Copies of this chain bind each other. A is one copy, B any other.
């Protein structure tokens, strides 16, 4: 069949991960088989194992790649001297952007993380919990400073994160508005829903 084609300076492993994210998104982690993955990569199933350790390694690479990006952005935002609403807005814009431009990866991370194996599963859940707590803390701070309505911050975070994961439907839809417009609409509704 010939070698796996790489482009720019990405490794063969990177190519496999990318294709895996697409496949896992489309079929779901459990339903996607290594033989299917091999086919889209253009190689026999066994050959994949020259580059990766296991199917589940693919999943945890995808999931932590996303999770780490999110955590990093949270670090950055927390350090800024801006209002709570501005922080929320910046976090949301980052999340929306990720969903629009790195769709497959983010989608897989969101929906398939439960198939992670230990110890990755526990690490992932902890990181996720931490992220949400920090997000909720920003909102509570905003409530204290009377920028934000008096609401349950945990519920607010839950709504926002899941609203964003709904961009999945936007990707599927035929008559899409463009990405920037989508972002503005989401910010209007979500931030508008918080503002006092």
Judge whether A165 and B167 touch: CB under 8 Å: no
**A30-B28, A158-B166 given as contacts; is B185 within 8 A of A152 (CB)?**
yes
Residue interface mask A87-125, B partner, CB < 8 A = 1: 000000000000000000000000100110000000000
Please tell me if A182 contacts chain B, counting CB pairs below 8 Å: yes
Given A28-B114, A111-B111, are A159 and B166 neighbors across the interface (CB < 8 Å)? yes
Chain A interface residue count, CB cutoff 8 Å, equals 38
* Main DSSP-derived SS at the A contact region: helix
Give the complex CA separation of A152 and B185 in angstroms. Answer: 7
Residues of B within 8 A of A158 (CB): 163, 166-167, 169-170
Q: Let me know if A190 is at the binding interface, CB within 8 A.
A: yes
Contacts of A38 in B (CB 8 A): none
Q: Which residue of B lies closest to A181 (CB)?
A: B152
Min C-beta distance of A151 to chain B, whole Å: 5
A156 touches B185 (CB 8 A): yes
Residue with the highest number of chain B CB atoms closer than 10 Å, among A28, A165, A168: A28
Interface string of A157-193 (1 = CB under 8 A from B): 0111111111111100100010001100110111111
Residue of B nearest to A167 (CB): B158
The verdict on A8 contacting chain B, using a C-beta distance below 8 Å, is: no
Q: What's the nearest-Cβ distance from chain B to residue A25, in Å? A: 11
* Further 9 A-B residue pairs, CB within 8 A, beyond A155-B170, A158-B167, A188-B193: A31-B115, A149-B192, A152-B182, A154-B170, A154-B173, A155-B182, A158-B166, A159-B166, A159-B189
Q: Can you list 20 A-B pairs with a CB-CB distance of less than 8 A?
A: A28-B30, A28-B114, A149-B188, A149-B189, A151-B188, A151-B189, A152-B177, A152-B185, A154-B170, A155-B186, A158-B166, A158-B169, A159-B163, A159-B166, A161-B166, A161-B169, A162-B164, A162-B165, A162-B166, A165-B166
